[in-house]
Amino acid sequence: MLKEYYSRNELIKFVSNTPKDIEICDVTLRDGEQTPGVVFTREEKIALARELDEVGVEIIEAGFPVVSAAEKDTVKEIAGMGLDARTCCLSRALIADVDSAIDCNVDMVSIFIAMSDLHLKHKYHKSCKEITDCAFNTIEYAKDHGLSVRFAAEDATRTDISVLKKAFLTAEDYGVDYVSIADTIGILNPSTAYYLVTEIKKEIHTPVCIHCHNDLGLATANTLAAAEAGAKQLHTTVNGIGERAGNAALEEVLLSLMVQYGIEKYNTRNIKKISDLVQKYSNVQVAANKAIVGKNAFSHESGIHVMAILEDPRTYELFSPEIVGGKRNLIAGKHTGMKALKGIVKDIGYSLEEEELNLLIERVKNCTEAKKGISRNRLEDIIKGIKKV
């Protein structure tokens, strides 16, 4: 149990299928880099791999080696860093792609194909049998060369479920270590995610992975629902970056696993640090109200809220900011009353007389910055000015 507080969801006791034996495969270095305009340097990828390892994710998808010689060298270097996390890379159903993975000395290769009618017709221009035969030949080659293999069905959530099951059963016969359901266009909702994983697991005994995109803003919810249905490997990216609307966010998934299910095996203290690094390296800033890592995630301005927070933070915080390496921010602004302002002043280390407090609240209310709240530093400057009067 973490020493810091957090509020557990007591309703979870009514859910019979809580996640068991789960692992995280973070795909920031591969799928995250497919965010339009984002390219990580070799040094940035190495730094992020180290931070992901510190968080405790079990698998890091380091990249797509056949993209370029530089990408291949970076994947190989990450695989040789001696991390606790296993390394993985992406591969099409081509022997040459697997050879690149072998050269990189990764632990696992993710061999993907699409089997939906749309992709077969408009991307491959081939039959499902032609595509799956290529995949199985590639899987056999990868297994023969000592690699762990994840067989990933791209656009799985628009593929006929009988086709999906048949392909996964055959892949199972070839000895794959995982089968992966990719919700490539984010069409799932929690109910359909739960149903799909449940149906697959009725016939497939190989561990199931879930890879969710966020086109409807449901990627995290769908990932958790899949975990409840028995998915073992959950795919994430830091800050939820990725193609279009992105992927399931690492920070959301990890904190949800902790709060909702009591899964505390990850080092969440590094969450804010790695979030800031990804923002810096990608130049993609998270929204102010982004869960867990946004600048407003632990900010409080309402006078009633601030007073309660000062007495017991659990009143308006699900978990303490320290759990994710963040900080609480008490803001003086339009909604701040005298009692709350007095508490904020005390919290930042000052003591004002009643007359000084009256002057301070007047300046806070009239301050041109009040529209966006007054930062701690700005508030301190105002207090210092009042003290000199």
Asked if 383 and 352 touch (Cβ cutoff 8 Å), the reply is: yes
Kindly state whether residue 15 falls inside one of the protein's structural domains: no
> How distant, in Å, are the alpha carbons of 174, 215, 310, 333, 359 from that of 171?
5, 29, 57, 60, 73
Q: How far apart are CA 273 and CA 103, in angstroms?
A: 32
Positive or negative: CA dihedral 301, 305, 309, 310: positive
State the alpha helices, DSSP H only, in 56-127.
Answer: 69-79, 95-104, 117-119
Domain count along the chain = 2
Query: Is 84 in the same domain as 189?
Result: yes
Where a domain ends, among 251, 282, 313? 282
Query: Is 226 in the same domain as 374?
Result: no
> What CATH number is attached to the domain comprising 161?
3.20.20.70
Q: Which residues pair with 208 in a beta bridge?
A: 179
Kindly state whether residue 2 falls inside one of the protein's structural domains: no
Query: Is 276 in the same domain as 311?
Result: no
Q: What is the pLDDT of residue 371?
A: 62
Nearest CA to 104 among 174, 52, 51, 45? 45
Query: Is 355 in the same domain as 252?
Result: no
Q: Which residues pair with 179 in a beta bridge?
A: 151, 208
To the nearest 10°, report the CA torsion of 44, 48, 49, 55. 170
Query: Is 208 in the same domain as 305?
Result: no
Q: What is the pTM of this model?
A: 0.92
To the nearest 10°, report the CA torsion of 207, 213, 216, 222. 20
Query: Is 50 in the same domain as 136?
Result: yes
With a CB cutoff of 8 Å and minimum separation 6, the contacts of 76 are 65, 103, 104, 105
Query: Is 332 in the same domain as 252?
Result: no
Where a domain ends, among 253, 282, 311? 282
Kindly state whether residue 1 falls inside one of the protein's structural domains: no
Q: What is the pLDDT of residue 61?
A: 98
Query: Is 205 in the same domain as 96?
Result: yes
Q: What is the pLDDT of residue 376?
A: 76
Asked if 121 and 163 touch (Cβ cutoff 8 Å), the reply is: no
Query: Is 203 in the same domain as 352?
Result: no
Query: Is 106 in the same domain as 211?
Result: yes
Asked if 89 and 60 touch (Cβ cutoff 8 Å), the reply is: no
Environment class of 327 (CB within 10 Å of its CB; exposed 0-12, middle 13-18, buried 19+) = exposed
Other C-beta atoms lying within 10 Å of the C-beta of residue 220:
24
Average confidence (pLDDT) per 10 residues, the chain, 389 residues: 67 78 97 96 98 98 97 98 98 98 98 97 97 98 98 98 98 98 98 98 98 98 97 98 98 96 95 98 97 93 81 91 92 77 82 82 71 74 78
Tokens of 139: 């899987």
Q: How far apart are CA 213 and CA 215, in angstroms?
A: 6
Q: 319 — phi, psi (to 5°)? A: -150, 160
Kindly state whether residue 287 falls inside one of the protein's structural domains: no
With a CB cutoff of 8 Å and minimum separation 6, the contacts of 86 are 58, 59, 60, 107, 108, 148
Tokens of 209: 């992975």
Where a domain ends, among 221, 252, 282? 282
Residue type, 337: G
Q: What is the pLDDT of residue 29?
A: 98
Provide the residue range defining the domain that includes 81: 21-282
